[in-house]
């Protein structure tokens, strides 16, 4: 399940210049029904929409938008933004693969840059339509200067259409339904003219071409949206610090595709900002991590686990020294990896019953703000991408030149090998369904497609 980097990156940038502190809250009743009567401004899609635009491999990419798209409840700021044609690597940078000295026992395919598919400057998150790789969706927005918005491409990045987001509506997370990739949910925050902020959820049934608002929650924006891997139409939504009206942190759950929602508390003594949300497809266990908004001592931010699809939660790492930024799961071997905001990498081989420190030296320089992770279930490989501090983004220096790498660990090894060193500020990693290509989204440097080659 895809993690949601946009809100995390914005928050990291803010936390880099100053911490935000909130008061502790008391433990709450774990179950609070919202339902149709009390849930504000909840609507349903008024009609079905057609499938997302598709460009076949043997067709010429086009900027044209089909005129017969049927609108849903709401269309927001749909604008066409053309790009240059697809860029070969020769048009951008020489693919010299500077990391060649890989040990012979390190059995992982060489990753070469097949294309730079987009010059979008501030990509924060990406979704690949897993049935047609020409269909892409991104969240884009400069951290300090604009509200993040959704852009959609139906021709492999040749052109983009802004379909959701404006000055009042910021998009924080997107997630596609694993059973139907045309269905996508978006978590947002809406700020009214009076400054009141609410969390809103939007749904698209044609891969982001049209959107309909399906839920509104008082308080903070929705920074995590997730879809259950095992239960159809089960949706999870987490607000930034919890629902202010409800008074604590927890998860909103819908069992019918967003029509009705129920709130389940995390039962923590402090509110948390959720960073990562991941589900084990084999048993349905959910793992969630975040940081306490109130960082008073002792500061041991939780890793939460739910064994009943989000109804009850337990802290499985009460001694955790720092907040976990990213969670990925090895689906073949049921191993869960947790990476903190800094350099410590943990793993659990027993569904979270015990957690061990795997590696604390994955970074070679002090310019790394966090790591994003993806797991290659074909080669049993954990892939890490280095996300840089804002100082390396805004005013690059020689000290930042050895950062922005891709690192890989094979077969549960604690040893990581750099497989690319392109000095990219990596914010998202996404494998295609066959794991033959890796999409690397960067902040300020566009989107790259890496292709596996035989060493």
pTM higher than 0.85 for the full model? no
Q: Residue 153 domain-assigned?
A: yes
Q: For the beta carbon of residue 343, count every other beta carbon within 10 angstroms.
A: 17
For 300-304, the CB contacts below 8 A with 24+ separation are 301/272, 302/266, 302/268, 302/272, 303/338, 303/352, 303/355, 304/266
Q: What gap in Å lies between CA 326 and CA 160, rounded to an integer?
A: 28
Q: Residue 442 domain-assigned?
A: no
Q: Residue 283 domain-assigned?
A: yes
Question: 361 burial class (0-12, 13-18, 19+ CB within 10 angstroms)?
Answer: exposed
Q: Residue 151 domain-assigned?
A: yes
We report the CATH number of the domain holding residue 70 as: 2.120.10.30
- Please state the domain count of the chain: 1
Nearest to 3 by CA among 368, 441, 429, 302: 429
Q: Residue 104 domain-assigned?
A: no
The answer for 80, left when phi > 0, alpha when psi is -120 to 50, beta otherwise, is beta
Q: Residue 343 domain-assigned?
A: yes
Q: Residue 391 domain-assigned?
A: no
269-302 per-residue burial string, b: 16 or more CB within 10 A, e: under 16: ebbbbbbbbbbbeeebbbbbbbbbbbeeeeeebb
Residue 238 is part of which domain span?
Answer: 5-83+119-360
Q: For the beta carbon of residue 58, count every other beta carbon within 10 angstroms.
A: 5
Q: Residue 243 domain-assigned?
A: yes
CA 201 and chain centroid, separation: 16
Residue by residue, pLDDT tens for the chain (455 residues) are 554 444 444 444 444 334 333 333 333 333 333 333 333 333 333 333 323 322 222 333 333 222 222 233 344 445 555 444 343 333 333 444 434 333 334 578 888 877 788 877 788 889 999 899 889 999 988 655 568 999 999 988 888 999 999 989 999 999 999 999 999 999 999 999 998 889 999 999 999 999 999 999 988 889 999 999 989 899 999 998 655 455 578 999 999 999 999 999 999 888 888 889 999 999 999 999 988 877 777 888 999 999 999 999 999 999 888 889 899 999 999 999 999 887 789 999 999 999 999 877 554 456 677 788 999 999 899 999 888 776 665 555 665 655 678 889 887 777 888 888 777 888 899 999 899 999 999 887 889 899 888 65
């Amino acid at each position: 399940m895809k993690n949601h980097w946009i809100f995390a990156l914005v928050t990291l940038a803010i936390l880099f210049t100053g911490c935000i502190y909130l008061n502790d809250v008391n433990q709450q009743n774990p179950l609070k029904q919202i339902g149709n009567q009390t849930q504000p401004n909840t609507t349903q899609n008024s009609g079905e929409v057609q499938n997302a635009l598709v460009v076949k491999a043997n067709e010429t990419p086009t900027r044209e938008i089909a005129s017969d798209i049927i609108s849903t409840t709401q269309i927001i700021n749909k604008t066409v933004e053309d790009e240059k044609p697809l860029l070969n690597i020769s048009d951008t940078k020489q693919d010299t693969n500077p990391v060649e000295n890989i040990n012979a026992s390190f059995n992982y395919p060489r990753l070469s840059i097949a294309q730079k598919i987009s010059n979008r400057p501030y990509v924060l998150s990406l979704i690949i339509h897993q049935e047609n790789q020409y269909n892409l969706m991104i969240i884009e927005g400069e951290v300090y200067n604009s509200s993040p918005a959704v852009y959609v491409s139906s021709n492999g990045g040749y052109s983009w259409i802004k379909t959701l987001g404006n000055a009042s509506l910021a998009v924080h997370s997107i997630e596609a339904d694993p059973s139907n990739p045309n269905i996508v949910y978006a978590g947002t925050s809406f700020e009214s003219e009076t400054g009141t902020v609410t969390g809103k959820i939007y749904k698209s049934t044609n891969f982001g071409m049209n959107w309909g608002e399906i839920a509104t929650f008082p308080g903070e924006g929705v920074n995590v949206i997730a879809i259950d891997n095992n239960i159809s139409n089960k949706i999870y939504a987490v607000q930034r610090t919890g629902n202010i009206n409800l008074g604590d942190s927890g998860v909103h759950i819908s069992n019918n595709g967003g029509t009705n929602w129920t709130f389940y508390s995390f039962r923590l003594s402090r509110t948390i900002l959720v960073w990562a949300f991941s589900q084990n497809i084999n048993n349905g266990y959910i793992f969630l991590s975040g940081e306490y908004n109130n960082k008073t001592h002792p500061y041991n931010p939780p890793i939460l686990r739910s064994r009943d699809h989000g109804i009850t939660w337990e802290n499985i790492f009460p001694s955790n020294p720092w907040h976990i930024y990213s969670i990925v799961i090895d689906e073949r071997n049921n191993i869960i990896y947790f990476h903190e905001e800094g350099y410590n990498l943990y793993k659990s081989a027993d569904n979270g019953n015990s957690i061990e420190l795997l590696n604390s030296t994955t970074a070679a320089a002090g310019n790394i703000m966090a790591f994003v992770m993806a797991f290659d279930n074909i080669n049993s490989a954990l892939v890490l991408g280095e996300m840089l501090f804002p100082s390396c983004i805004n005013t690059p220096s020689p000290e930042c030149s050895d950062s922005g790498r891709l690192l890989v660990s094979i077969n549960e090894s604690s040893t990581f090998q750099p497989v690319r060193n392109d000095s990219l500020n990596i914010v998202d990693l996404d494998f295609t369904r066959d794991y033959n290509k890796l999409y690397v989204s960067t902040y300020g440097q566009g989107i790259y497609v890496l292709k596996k080659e035989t060493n």
